[in-house]
Each structure stands twice: as structure tokens, then as C-alpha cells.
């Protein structure tokens, strides 16, 4: 089933923690093992059935993103672009994307976040089905003070959200994927800049919480959430993807495969995409998955 929800991928920012790597290249275009980083969040949202996307980028990287992703037609989706002149908080994405969202429900994913696990698709689909309220995804971490943190009551209901707290009330960090109803833009307009001068996504989520309309999906054991904002985390993400792919022979974050399995492109179109990438081995994979006896498309 195709979703009416609009997908937003936030891929702006300066990625100063990755200098000098990101002096001339967008972080979200850098490799995570065998794919550009942005393939992973794009594929994650594609798994929900979303077919319309807005990629928000910095001005100097716009042409590079267009070269890589095009208009999305090759994957049976639509990709448009918007410029973020200056990064001023995650919730700014909804002000930039107002015209694109056009009073539809939306999903925002950060361009440097990777997700994997058996329960991922059911959790994404559960969030996507909801037409009212907001859904956040939380993940237990050892250093919650680095993130937005969710506090729960004894019934596992969120009672508070706090951005980078000195004394975290839990170890559950709010990850970089968010599902919202059609009121997200109007709510984003109500937000005032924080002490950091940013329109915080936590402030937006708190507006839903005050309405008793914030839902949570807890990513537990067997799930992986990786962000790639530092040299070490970028390396770890690449090592994780390499280990999975070499062990199973299945790719993670492959938009061509997702599009084919969802019948957005056919075998002939998949084969055409594969032929351009045979030398790298990526193309051979796209040809091989068509022969999988356990999957008929």
C-alpha cells in the first residue's frame, strides 16, 4: 500500500566534527561501506511505502545530490530538493518543507542516521498508519546526555522529553526518525529558538506531548541505530554494514532492491540499473536477488 505521507530527509548542515573530510563533500554523500550515506535513511522511509520525498541540503552541495539521486524516477519515487541556507535546528525542516508537505502527514529522517533490525519494518508501518499525533523512536544508549531523552512513567508512557540533559531521566535517546500528522508545520511555527539559538525537534515533540498525542516505538535488543557524526561512528557504521552484508549476502539500505520488492520498478528496470554497476559488484547483487527462490516479484 502506498502512503500519502510525505518524506523529508534533512541532509544540510556543515558536519564540522568531520573536518577536513567534509570541507568539500556533504557528510550525507560520504560512503558507509558500499553506499552513499543518504541511501540508508532514504531506504528506511521507502520501506514504509512513502513515494514522495524532499531532500533538504546546503546550497553548495545541491548539484552533487541531484547527480546522485536525480528525481527518483529510476526507483519509482519522486525526489525534490530544498535549500537550507543556515542550519537552525531540526524543526526548521518543517518551515522549509511547508509547501512540499501541503497539509499532508509527514515523516522526517536525519540524513546521517542508519537503522536495521527484524522489527524495523513493523515498527515503521505501525507509525505510518497513525493519521493523528506524532511517533518517535527511542533507543537505549550508554551516553544519553548527548541526545534528546525520553522519560517514562511506570506504564511506559512518555511523560517528559529533554534535550541533552545534564542528568538524564532515562537511557532512552530519541533517534533521528519522526512521524507527524498534518499539524506539524503549524506547530513548528509556534516554536521559539532555544538557548542554543535553534528550533529544537524536542520542542515540537513536546507540543504533541502536551496534547497527549505523542506515541513512542522502543527499539530494543536486536535493533541497531547508528548515527555517523564522528570519525569513530562513521567507521563503526561502515564496519557494521560490511559484517552484515558479507555474512548474509544481503544488502542493507539498497533503494534499488526496496523499489523492486515493492513493485515500484520491474525486473527489466532493475536489470538496467544493475548493468551500470556490474564492475563494483553492486550491480551483480541486483541481478542475483532476482533469482532468489524464496521471493517472487
Domain boundaries defined on the chain: 6-131+176-182+211-265, 266-297
C-alpha cell at 225: 541505530
Measured CA to CA, the distance from residue 171 to residue 233 in angstroms comes to 19
For residue 290, pLDDT beyond 50: yes
Q: What per-residue confidence (pLDDT) applies to 259?
A: 97
For residue 297, pLDDT beyond 50: no
> 3-class DSSP state for residue 130?
coil
Burial readout 36-55 (b: 16 or more C-beta within 10 A, e: otherwise): bbbbbbbbbbbbbbbbbbbb
Which pTM does this prediction carry?
A: 0.94
Q: What per-residue confidence (pLDDT) applies to 195?
A: 84
Measured CA to CA, the distance from residue 188 to residue 26 in angstroms comes to 26
H or E segment and range at residue 10 = strand 6-11
> 3-class DSSP state for residue 6?
strand
Average pLDDT of the residues in 233-237:
91
Residue 262, φ and ψ in degrees, nearest 5:
-90, 5
Q: What pLDDT, in 10s, does the model give residues 16-49?
A: 777 887 788 888 999 999 999 999 999 999 999 9
What mean pLDDT value characterizes the chain? Answer: 92
CATH H superfamily, domain 6-131+176-182+211-265: Spore Coat Polysaccharide Biosynthesis Protein SpsA; Chain A (3.90.550.10)
Q: What per-residue confidence (pLDDT) applies to 2?
A: 52
Q: What pLDDT, in 10s, does the model give residues 54-79?
A: 999 999 999 999 999 999 999 999 99
Neighbours of 35 (CB within 10 A): 19
Query: DSSP secondary structure string, 13-39?
Result: S--GGGTTTTSSS-GGGSEETTEETTH
Average pLDDT of the residues in 112-133:
93
Q: What angle do CA 216, 220, 221 make, to 5 degrees?
A: 170
Measured CA to CA, the distance from residue 86 to residue 127 in angstroms comes to 30
Which residues face 75 on adjacent strands?
none
Amino acid at each position: 500500500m502506498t502512503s500519502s505521507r510525505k518524506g523529508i530527509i534533512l541532509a544540510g548542515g556543515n558536519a564540522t566534527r568531520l573536518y577536513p573530510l567534509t570541507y568539500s563533500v556533504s557528510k550525507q554523500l560520504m560512503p558507509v561501506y558500499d553506499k552513499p550515506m543518504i541511501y540508508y535513511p532514504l531506504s528506511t522511509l521507502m520501506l514504509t511505502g512513502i513515494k514522495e520525498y524532499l531532500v533538504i541540503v546546503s546550497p553548495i552541495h545541491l548539484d552533487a545530490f541531484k547527480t546522485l539521486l536525480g528525481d527518483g524516477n529510476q526507483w519509482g519515487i519522486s525526489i525534490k530538493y530544498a535549500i537550507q541556507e543556515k542550519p537552525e535546528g531540526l524543526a526548521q525542516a518543517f518551515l522549509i518543507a511547508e509547501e512540499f508537505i501541503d497539509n499532508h502527514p509527514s515523516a522526517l529522517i536525519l540524513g546521517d542516521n542508519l537503522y536495521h533490525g527484524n522489527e524495523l519494518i513493523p515498527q515503521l508501518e505501525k507509525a505510518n498508519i497513525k493519521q493523528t499525533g506524532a511517533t518517535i523512536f527511542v533507543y537505549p544508549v550508554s551516553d544519553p546526555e548527548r541526545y534528546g531523552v525520553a522519560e517514562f512513567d511506570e506504564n511506559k508512557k512518555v511523560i517528559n522529553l529533554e534535550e541533552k540533559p545534564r542528568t538524564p531521566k532515562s537511557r532512552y535517546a530519541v533517534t533521528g526518525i519522526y512521524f507527524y500528522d498534518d499539524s506539524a508545520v503549524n506547530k513548528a511555527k509556534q516554536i521559539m529558538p532555544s538557548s542554543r539559538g535553534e528550533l529544537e525537534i524536542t520542542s515540537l515533540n513536546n507540543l504533541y506531548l502536551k496534547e497527549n498525542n505523542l506515541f513512542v516505538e522502543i527499539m530494543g535488543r536486536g535493533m541497531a541505530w547508528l548515527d555517523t557524526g564522528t570519525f569513530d561512528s562513521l567507521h563503526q557504521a561502515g564496519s557494521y554494514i560490511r559484517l552484515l552484508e558479507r555474512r548474509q549476502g544481503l544488502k542493507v539500505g539498497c533503494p534499488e532492491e526496496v523499489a523492486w520488492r515493492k513493485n515500484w520498478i520491474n525486473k527489466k528496470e532493475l536489470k538496467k540499473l544493475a548493468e551500470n554497476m556490474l564492475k563494483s559488484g553492486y550491480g551483480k547483487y541486483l541481478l542475483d536477488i532476482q533469482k532468489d527462490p524464496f521471493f517472487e516479484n
